[in-house]
Amino acid sequence: MNFSIDSTVTLNNGVKMPQLGLGVWKINNAGAAQSVQWAIKHGYRAIDTAKQYGNEAGVGEGLTKALADNGLKREDIFLTTKIFNGDQGYESTLKNFDGQLKNLQTDYVDLLLIHWPVDGKYPDTWKALEKIYQEGKARAIGVSNFNITRLQDVLKNGSIKPAVDQMEFNPLCQEVDIKNFCDEHNIHLEAWSPLGGGTVLGDERLQKIADKYNKSVAQVILRWDLQQGIITIPKSVHEERIVQNADLFDFELSDEDVAEIKGYDEDKRSLWYGGFKWHGNPTGFGDAVQSWEDTGEYAK
């Protein structure tokens, strides 16, 4: 398998999306501006943010600087953002999305996702995304954290098929049924927190595999994502880790090792429903996170 940092997957509307990008969850504006600049300097061509992260302005600033510093054009970068839970609904999504573009210092995004499936609202939010797509302000649209039932709902009632479902995905949380459903319907699975937010990195079994290839556990996990066709967006605020997380192209995991890691699945979703607290964003975005309830409907 011949991958490079420029490797792309082709989404179901023909748009090409880099398979590796930088994620910026839990980074403030200044940190996001810095991480985005490091990432682009070191060859990343995709950035993933969300209004809920409270750092779109930092991403916009970092992106604008990085384009100038590296002689790149806006179209050289694949930019993803997401609709904030509190903005969901048709009119509200349309109204607030323009503010997101302004913060991101761009007049379009490459991929726009519904961040979470706010029940009762996401069907109208999806209609707004379809309009944004038709107006050319998003080159592709998709969802995040949607289980099979909700994906089926969007497929049935929407007029455009989601291009991507961005899910929590790491060796201990593989969402096998959702991945199979996505494969069947030509929806690309994208992994959020591919390193399990760092928690998977101490796994001794993965360390053993990493030692064999003379790579880090992070690199083994990210390479494992790529070899399965999964889009992956590791986050880091450290330049050397940003570099390390893109140094994935001088080794290949054997089929046995890919299968071995598949065997580690524990269906273990993260702390999201377990009391994660926002780090104090004055805009109040954090309220939506804290008031998010796990109704149990999320289960497969």
> Checking DSSP bridges between strand 111-114 and strand 78-83, what pairing results, if any?
parallel
Output the smallest distance, CB 291 to ligand A2P, in A: 22
* 53, 172, 197, 223: residue in contact with ligand A2P (rule CB under 6 A): 197
Choose one: 173-181, 223-231, 233-241, 285-293; the region binding ligand A2P (CB under 6 A). 233-241
* 198, 202, 229, 284: residue in contact with ligand A2P (rule CB under 6 A): 198
How far apart CA 140 and CA 160 sit, in angstroms, is: 10
List alpha helices for 13-121, DSSP H: 29-41, 56-69, 90-104
Output the smallest distance, CB 31 to ligand A2P, in A: 9
Choose one: 42-50, 131-139, 196-204, 281-289; the region binding ligand A2P (CB under 6 A). 196-204
CA 80 to chain centre: 8
Torsion sign, CA atoms 140, 146, 152, 158? negative
Residue of 44, 53, 122, 133 marked catalytic: 53
* 78, 210, 236, 246: residue in contact with ligand A2P (rule CB under 6 A): 236
Total site size for ligand A2P, rule CB under 6 A: 18
Name the amino acid, one letter, at 113: L
* 97, 113, 234, 246: residue in contact with ligand A2P (rule CB under 6 A): 234
Of residues 109 and 210, the one with the C-beta less far from ligand A2P: 210
Name residue, tokens 């479902």.
Answer: 165
Interaction residues for ligand A2P, span 101-160 (CB under 6 A): none
Instruction: Please say whether the beta carbons of 171 and 209 come within 8 A.
Output: no
- Give the pair of three-digit tokens for residue 234: 């590791």
* 235, 246, 253, 288: residue in contact with ligand A2P (rule CB under 6 A): 235
Q: How many CA atoms lie within 13 A of 101 on its CB side?
A: 17
How far apart CA 86 and CA 78 sit, in angstroms, is: 25
Q: Specify whether 53 is catalytic.
A: yes
What residues are paired with 112 via a beta bridge? Answer: 81, 141
Which residues, at least 6 apart from 281, have a Cβ–Cβ distance to it below 8 Å? Answer: 54
How far apart CA 104 and CA 1 sit, in angstroms, is: 34
How far apart CA 169 and CA 265 sit, in angstroms, is: 10
Interaction residues for ligand A2P, span 14-73 (CB under 6 A): 23
Of residues 23 and 162, the one with the C-beta less far from ligand A2P: 23
Output the smallest distance, CB 23 to ligand A2P, in A: 5
How far apart CA 133 and CA 286 sit, in angstroms, is: 28
Output the smallest distance, CB 194 to ligand A2P, in A: 5
Of residues 58 and 196, the one with the C-beta less far from ligand A2P: 196
Binding mask 239-278 for ligand A2P (x = CB under 6 A): --x--xx---------------------------------
Phi, psi values for residue 198, rounded to 5°: 100, -15
- Give the pair of three-digit tokens for residue 241: 């880790």
Of residues 106 and 216, the one with the C-beta less far from ligand A2P: 216
**Given phi > 0 = left and psi -120 to 50 = alpha, else beta, which region is 59?**
alpha
Binding mask 156-195 for ligand A2P (x = CB under 6 A): -------------------------------------xxx
Residues that bind ligand A2P (CB under 6 A): 23, 193-198, 201, 216, 218, 234-238, 241, 244-245
Residues with a known catalytic role: 53
